[in-house]
Amino acid sequence: MPPFVVEGTRIPKISAPELLTKAGMEALLRKNFPGASFRGQDPTMNGHVPNYAALMYRDDIRLMHMAEFQQALDSMVIGGDVAGAKKLKAELQKTFTRAHDWRTEGMDKSVNHWRR
């Protein structure tokens, strides 16, 4: 099958942080990650006390995007564009690899009793 380009407008995806108020985001983090956040804690990573639930939420979003792109890669391979899939996979690995960050690494180790 010859390759083709689909053009058109996409419906924007609205994520929970864009849709919810600060109180709603706090409630979502406490519901999805019990024990990782407490009432009144800033739901962003900008507060004085680091919010581990927000870190886990961002990582879940990252993993969801990685899974979506993996489906695209699989479709490219099935469609016969193996070279294009390899190029895209290299770019995705650069994009989704987390850089070293002392703050988030410290939170992760602290929550997991320094086992990672």
> For 43-63, what is the mean pLDDT?
80
Name the residue ranges covered by the structural domains of the chain.
16-111
pLDDT tens digits along 87-106: 989 998 888 887 777 667 77
pTM metric for this prediction:
0.70
**37: nearest Cα among 55, 52, 15:** 52
Cβ-based neighbours of 64, under 8 Å, separated by 6 or more? none
> How many C-alpha atoms does 31 have within 13 Å on its Cβ side?
6
Q: What are phi and psi of 109, to 5 degrees?
A: -65, -40
Q: Are 20 and 32 in contact (CB under 8 A)?
A: no
